[in-house]
């Protein structure tokens, strides 16, 4: 499979990135609405329209810079869907379910992109269908990254909501006080390479599991 130019990479990654972050947030809002909190629906955020969820920095700028810098990974984020946790019918249980909806949606999307890549391979001449295969591989990668990143137990990532819901209330309160510093901690972990070491195991395991499931060539993941 041939190497791609920067413009080709941007075109191929754009759709998977936008869908990955948009549906991640939509899933949070959809589950919250089902469990008693209509906040996202009332504010027009319970929508599959990417424009309602796009964050200019997290959805467009950061992924674009990572592509231009030829980084080995791409990630981004959308505007968080507003949720009033007090509206949930069973807050301690439902907080965890709402939180898990985001990474769960990324896992489902990773599998769907795997199927798309498999279809691209089955269409025949790879020189013609390679954009479909590459886009499928990009979809697998971005969704796998978002899934394993968000299950980290670092406030305000989704994994921390699950941990908080399992802790006794007084410990959960202390634990949640980390949240204002969470993004800074994440940046430090990223800059020092610690984040990569933490995520590499589950990321590679998930990536190669999906690759094996659909019989995808490793070349499809070399951008």
Whole-number Å distance between alpha carbons of 221 and 135:
10
SS3 assignment, position 49: coil
Catalytic residue among 16, 20, 25, 141: 25
Q: Is the peptide bond before 90 cis (omega within 30 degrees of 0)?
A: no
d(CA 178, CA 164): 11
**Measured between alpha carbons, how far is 169 from 158 in angstroms, rounded to an integer?**
18
Rounded CA-CA distance 25/82 in Å is 9
Instruction: Return d(Cα 158, Cα 152) in angstroms, integer.
Output: 7
* 179 a catalytic residue: no
Assign 81 to helix, strand or coil: coil
Euclidean distance between CA atoms 189 and 17, whole angstroms: 22
Please give the positions annotated as active site: 25
């Amino acid at each position: 499979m041939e190497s791609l130019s920067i413009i080709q990479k941007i075109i191929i990654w754009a759709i998977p990135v936008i869908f990955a972050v948009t549906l991640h947030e939509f899933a949070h809002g959809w589950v919250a609405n089902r469990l008693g909190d209509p906040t996202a629906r009332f504010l027009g955020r319970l929508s599959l329209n990417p424009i309602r969820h796009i964050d200019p920095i997290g959805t467009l700028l950061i992924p674009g810079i990572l592509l231009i810098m030829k980084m080995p990974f791409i990630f981004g984020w959308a505007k968080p869907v507003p949720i009033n946790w007090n509206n949930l019918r069973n807050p301690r249980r439902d907080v965890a379910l709402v939180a898990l909806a985001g990474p769960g949606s990324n896992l489902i999307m990773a599998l769907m992109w795997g199927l798309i890549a498999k279809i691209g391979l089955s269409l025949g001449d790879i020189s013609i269908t390679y954009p479909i295969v590459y886009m499928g591989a990009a979809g697998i990668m971005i969704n796998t990254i978002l899934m394993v990143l968000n299950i980290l137990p670092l406030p305000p990532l989704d994994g921390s909501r699950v941990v908080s819901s399992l802790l006794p209330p007084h410990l959960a309160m202390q634990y949640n006080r980390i949240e204002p510093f969470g993004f800074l901690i994440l940046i430090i972990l990223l800059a020092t390479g610690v984040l990569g070491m933490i995520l590499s195991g589950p990321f590679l395991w998930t990536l190669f599991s999906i690759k094996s499931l659909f019989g995808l060539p490793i070349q499809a993941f070399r951008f």
